Amino acid sequence: MNITLEQAETVSKAGKAKEIGVPMNIAIVDEGANLKAFHRMDNAWLGSVDISIKKAKTSRFFDMNSGVIGSLSQLGEPLYQIEHSNGGLISFPGGILLKDKAGNTVGAIGVSGGSVEQDHEVASAGVAAL
């Protein structure tokens, strides 16, 4: 299973970022962690483009939220320094898996531009839109 372009557009346009008034970058990757859709809101930080894509990829590469990778990659934890693998991972919230109605992973969303709490909130709204 894979996310369709129509579904990816729906997820990335979920509207939560506009609602909270924070310009964000929103990336959707497919099942293979390939970029499927991307939206950069007006005035969103340029540096967040790469972060949003890497949050989505991080989530899909390891089938967990990017923030979970963060907790597992702290000093003394089993995935310490994993963020240096795969061309660089992002290990803080804002990357979430996307699943179909049957629970199959079809991709992931990555959001960057606000606080990590806002990024996660916008990503969660995208998940709910699917």
The domains found in the chain, sorted by start residue, are: 5-129 (3.30.450.150)
- pTM for the model stands at 0.93
Q: Using an 8 Å Cβ cutoff, are 76 and 43 in contact?
A: no
pLDDT digits (tens, 9 = 90+) for 8-58: 998 888 778 888 999 999 999 999 999 999 999 999 999 999 999 999 999
Give φ, ψ of 96 to 5 degrees: -140, 140
Q: Which two tokens stand for residue 93?
A: 């919230």
The crossing angle, in degrees rounded to 10, of helices 116-129 and 5-12 is: 140
